[in-house]
Structure 1
Amino acid sequence: RRARVRVGATVRDVAAQEVRLGDVVVVAAGEVVAVDGRLLTAAVLDEAALTGEPLPRERGPGEDVRSGVVNAGGQAELVATATAESSTYAGIVRLVQSAQASSAPFVRAADRVAVLFVPLTVAVAGAAWLVSGDPVRAVAVLVVATPCPLLLAAPIAVVSGISRAARLGVVIRGGGPLERLAGARVVLLDKTGTVTQGRPTVAAVLVPPAPAATPVATGGSDLPGAHGTAPGADEVLRLAASLDQMSPHVLAGAIVTAASRRGLPLSLPSDLEEVHGHGLRGRVDGHEVQVGRAAWAGGLAQGRAGAPG
């Protein structure tokens, strides 16, 4: 992993392991926070990887942030309060490695059985040789009764299960909890994000039917339908997605995905401007479009609608 450290007016790209306590780390939009730190500027963070919550969180200056979260807003700066080795992300990695190295009760039981099984197998093979007088019989017993599959199958199954769970965002503390999970009949979940995919989706596109409300809903007084009937839901979604395709924000990705699933053709926006903490505005197909917080987009639209001329 890499991190960008600001020294005076210069920003250096360094390995995350080189970040020291007190360094000012610059996190660009879409980048992963490399070390734990305290924010110097406001930031919008996607913490789904750590908390499971699909919606980004707004953090202000002075708030603590943990490594492993994604910057879903504009550029942010933070002061490192921990090194890469002692940060949250590194702790999760160590936890997974420790879980993979630990033995489940079933694995330990297999080891104990193998300890008794090996001398028993040798004794049976020797007896077969003595009774038959043919050493091939003894070899056949050893081949059939070898405990290697028993010794290998159990730990491989446990390690594979823990690794697959980690790739899916589930951290299991060891083979024991994984084994006990097979007997679970009731599961208690602490938050919605635990049982979702960890990313937002567009549930519906609502368009006010009244033409007078159109500028507030769409964020532009020159949007199609502003002087007549309100634009349809597909047109509103198409314009919003055309603008949001230029944004790394997690909610922007949901809007673009929804437009793609409907087969809507997107246009390349111009005059793009991102207002940190509020939203995005620009022009799409000659129309001014704003996407962001309702109070921000609606307030600007109302101001233009009430302007002289």
Structure 2
Amino acid sequence: MYKLKKCALCGVETDLELSHIVPKMVMRMLKKTAIGNIRSSENPNIPAQDSEKHFMLCGKCEDLFSDKETYFANTIFHPYIKKEKINFDYDGRLFYFLTSLSWRSLYLDLIDFTENHLVGIDTLEHLISCENIMRYYLLNKRSDIGAIEHHIFFFEEIREITGNTELAELRPHVTFHRGIISYTFCYEDYDTCGTITNMMGIMVITLYKKGAQEKWEGTQIINGSGNIEAKNQHITSVVGNELINILRTVQASSELMSEKQKWKIVENLKAKADKIKDFAIFHDW
């Protein structure tokens, strides 16, 4: 857990609040709709009580983000998770929320990238520039974020996957519909980098660099009013590799689970056998 000395957004040195990287409501919904305990891929033998959080924002900046999170929750997250809607009209508050969401991950990942020399100097400088642009936008000091793009990809029924036969065997719907994650990725050889955030099947991809081979249809969120639908979305992207990496990580983690924990899961499923069809994960299976 990071504990910064000053607010990552406004720079004021004051007492900082514990900020969730992915909004707390997502973990709350995940726990509410789970058959049993929530487990993280980092330690599958210990039930997870909360999602990633760090001391990084002052109270004023947390409040700056909160109403946009509420807007996202009411406009897209809850209606989609509850299967009430797949077509969503939105306004500029969604663009602001997506910027705040990806900015949090980018800010923290830049600390790691810098300390551990994980990316080349050109890529690092570009990401630092993008972080500055997003921060100024979030502080209402500029009206746009330049060439940075936000996309939402809904992990719905997949009709076709080309070039990878492994994906189906890894049970992607279970992993993505029952998962939370956010981090920055870089494919320097393909001139593409961005932040990917999964919120129970609602995937936000913010592209800081977009290589020539990238094709995104029916996914982009504009800075203003628009519409997005959870169908007919087509992607040709290196982001597909990140989906595979997430799935492999979850599979490897499950293999590390102790026999005792596996037994507890089986016993819990037996106890709820007559109600199991009421849980969303049953349909994902």
TM-score under structure 2 length normalisation: 0.20
TM-score under structure 1 length normalisation: 0.19
